[in-house]
Amino acid sequence: MTLQHIVLFSFPRELSEDEAGQMRAMVASWPSEIGLMTKCRFGTDLTGARTRGYGYLLYTEFPDAAALSEYRAHPVHQRFFDWLVEHDCTPLAFDYHLGSDTVLMPEEPVALSEAQAGRRCCQRRVMPGWWRRDTTGS
């Protein structure tokens, strides 16, 4: 049965641009280097409000509990975990199965209009550091 693995990450200080880039690059490598998940998303809160100090979120889905266990034991994931320990990270993880009692709104494929696809493309080019929290207040 498919399950979601969600992790929030809190650090004792704000990560530098380089550290945030390292963290994102490690996670971004997982689909090709680990290859066990069916979905992988990583980001920061839009406002920084209501996060209780958790600045980053990881969202992954796995086909079953065995794949999640294999992912946790994978050397690439272990290197990421070591990086988190080195940076005094406090992770908060939550795993649950996706089923009729947990999926309250099934996903349906959504086709983007050409305008929406163009906007997303442009946003990626204009905002290369989207994973960084804006600390300027603008």
pLDDT digits (tens, 9 = 90+) for 28-82: 999 999 999 999 999 998 887 888 989 999 999 999 999 999 999 999 999 999 9
Does position 126 have pLDDT exceeding 80, yes or no?
no
Domain count, the chain: 1
In a domain, 53, yes or no: yes
Contact 34, 47 (CB under 8 A): no
pLDDT at position 34 = 96
Q: Which two tokens stand for residue 91?
A: 């992770």
Query: Judging by beta carbons within 10 Å of its beta carbon (0-12, 13-18, 19+), is residue 83 exposed, middle or buried?
Result: middle
The mean pLDDT value for 78-96 works out to 97
In a domain, 65, yes or no: yes
The mean pLDDT value for 96-120 works out to 74
pLDDT at position 88 = 97
Task: Compute the mean pLDDT over every residue in the chain, rounded to the nearest whole number.
Answer: 85
pLDDT at position 11 = 96
Does position 134 have pLDDT exceeding 90, yes or no?
no
Does position 129 have pLDDT exceeding 80, yes or no?
no
pLDDT at position 132 = 45
Segment holding 73, helix H or strand E: helix 65-73
Instruction: Kindly report the CATH number assigned to the domain that includes residue 50.
Output: 3.30.70.100
pLDDT at position 137 = 47
Amino acid at 66: A
Q: What gap in Å lies between CA 74 and CA 134, rounded to an integer?
A: 33
In a domain, 123, yes or no: no
In a domain, 29, yes or no: yes
In a domain, 130, yes or no: no
In a domain, 114, yes or no: no
Structural domain that includes position 11? 3-99
Does position 135 have pLDDT exceeding 70, yes or no?
no
Q: Which residues contact 26 (CB under 8 A, 6 or more apart)?
A: 76, 79, 80, 83
